[in-house]
Amino acid sequence: MGGYFSDIFYGSKSLLVGLGITFREFFKPVVTVQYPYQTLKMSAKFRGHIELIGDEEEKAKCVVCGMCERACPSGCITLGSVSIETEVDGKVKKKKVLSKYDLDFTKCSLCGQCVENCSFGAITFSKEYNLASARKEDFHFNLIERLERLTHSEEKNA
């Protein structure tokens, strides 16, 4: 019989402690974000998929060295280049130009090896976090086209 009343006492005490916490929290400001109408700003260290960085001429800084492709443990980066000849001061020089930079984000482990191994600072992590789809094809990115779209959308906004 003594255990019955002690269970009621400790149960009531636990209930009052819980109600006290609920009452205290009830008057604090709301921290819920009404997604998708409101979104949070991502932290500076957030790692989204990789993106190409443009130079002054709004072309990719990438010199097609292939370090990002070789450093990727997942094998999700595919590079392509074309060789062009330019004449500078009467001398013909061959130069590789980026023609294809594909990312298969379904394989990417977001390890950051590609960004760390890029000596030219041509790629970085994006701040895009709102990626959702039921189709695998939506996660195959042509990063050259994405860079062009981003630069054109920034020109329109400016």
Q: How many residues does the chain have?
A: 158
DSSP state, 136? G
For residue 9, give its domain range.
Answer: 1-31
Whether residue 21 is found in the same domain as residue 62 = no
Band (pLDDT 50/70/90 cuts) for residue 122 is very high
* CATH number of the domain bearing residue 135: 3.30.70.3270
Phi/psi of residue 126, nearest 5 degrees? -85, 165
Over 80: is that where the pLDDT of 154 sits? no
DSSP state, 25? H
Residues 103/141, Cβ–Cβ less than 8 Å: yes
Whether residue 21 is found in the same domain as residue 63 = no
Whether residue 58 is found in the same domain as residue 135 = yes
Whether residue 98 is found in the same domain as residue 138 = yes
Q: Tokens 């997942």 map to which residue?
A: 74
Whether residue 77 is found in the same domain as residue 137 = yes
List the Cα angle 134/138/144 in 5-degree steps.
165
Band (pLDDT 50/70/90 cuts) for residue 149 is confident
The answer as to whether 7 is a domain residue is: yes
Whether residue 146 is found in the same domain as residue 69 = yes
Hey, what are 141's tokens?
Answer: 């990115």
Cα dihedral value 41, 118, 60, 46, nearest 10: -10
Over 70: is that where the pLDDT of 1 sits? no
Most confident of 1-10, 17-26, 78-87: 17-26
Work out the percent of the chain whose per-residue pLDDT is above 90.
57
User: Before 36, cis peptide (omega within 30)?
Assistant: yes
Give me the number of domains the chain comprises. 2
State pTM to two decimals: 0.71
The answer as to whether 44 is a domain residue is: no
The answer as to whether 92 is a domain residue is: yes
Over 80: is that where the pLDDT of 155 sits? no
The answer as to whether 38 is a domain residue is: no
Work out the percent of the chain whose per-residue pLDDT is above 70.
96
44-70 pLDDT, tens per residue? 889 999 999 988 888 889 999 999 999
Q: How far apart are CA 87 and CA 84, in angstroms?
A: 10
Q: Which region, left, alpha or beta, applies to residue 126 given φ > 0 means left and ψ of -120 to 50 means alpha?
A: beta
Over 80: is that where the pLDDT of 98 sits? yes
Whether residue 104 is found in the same domain as residue 145 = yes
The answer as to whether 118 is a domain residue is: yes
Whether residue 7 is found in the same domain as residue 61 = no
The answer as to whether 36 is a domain residue is: no
Average pLDDT, the chain: 89
